[in-house]
Amino acid sequence: MRLALDEARLAARSGDVPVGAVVLGPDGTVLGRGRNDREETHDPTGHAEIVAMREAASALGSWRLSGCTLVVTLEPCTMCAGAAVQSRLDRVVYGAIDEKAGAVGSLWDVVRDRRLNHRPEVIIGVLADECAAPLIEFFASRRVR
């Protein structure tokens, strides 16, 4: 999670919402890193999870991320939760809960929907306060303007 937090800090420096992610291989090796980069790339799919999953898939030479773990500082949205299911990730680990757009237990629970063919394990709340802090600071600074 600390590596994902490093990515989140980089996102904030470039003006994006500070969310970071890493994809770990079955042996714990970092296969992909990502941070929100929508402002930087003008790409609506530029979420940390998507960026990290793309990098991991490229490193593996396969879209199937079986055996891998996605670690992300904020609960994934519907797009990212869907991508986690489609990529066959074994596990999704996240820090801060997103009550407004979370799709891994809060607002929706896409990854554990029994109608889908793949359901990754979910671990919630890892370094939750530490993951929430950059987000709180980021949005507080926007409200002051």
| DSSP state string for the chain | -HHHHHHHHHHHHTTS---EEEEE-TTS-EEEEEE--HHHH--TT--HHHHHHHHHHHHHTSS--TT-EEEEEE---HHHHHHHHHTT-SEEEEEE--TTT-TBTTS-BGGG-TTSS---EEEE-TTHHHHHHHHHHHHHHHHH-
Kindly report the CATH number assigned to the domain that includes residue 52: 3.40.140.10
- 110 lies in a domain? yes
Catalytic site includes residue 49: yes
Residue 81: its pLDDT value, please?
98
- 41 lies in a domain? yes
- 145 lies in a domain? no
Please give the annotated binding residues for Zn(2+), written as ranges: 47, 77, 80
**CA atoms of 70 and 89, how far apart (whole Å):** 7
Give tens-digit pLDDT for 65-123: 999 999 999 999 999 999 999 999 999 999 999 999 999 999 999 999 999 999 999 99
Please give the annotated binding residues, written as ranges: 47, 77, 80
Residue 141: its pLDDT value, please?
86
- Find out whether 90 and 123 touch, Cβ atoms under 8 Å: no
- 91 lies in a domain? yes
- pTM (predicted TM-score): 0.95
Stated length of the chain: 145
Q: In the chain, how many domains are there?
A: 1
**Full residue range of the structural domain in which residue 33 is found:** 1-138
Active-site residue (options: 49, 55, 75, 137) = 49
Which band of pLDDT confidence, cut at 50, 70 and 90, is reported for residue 142? Answer: confident
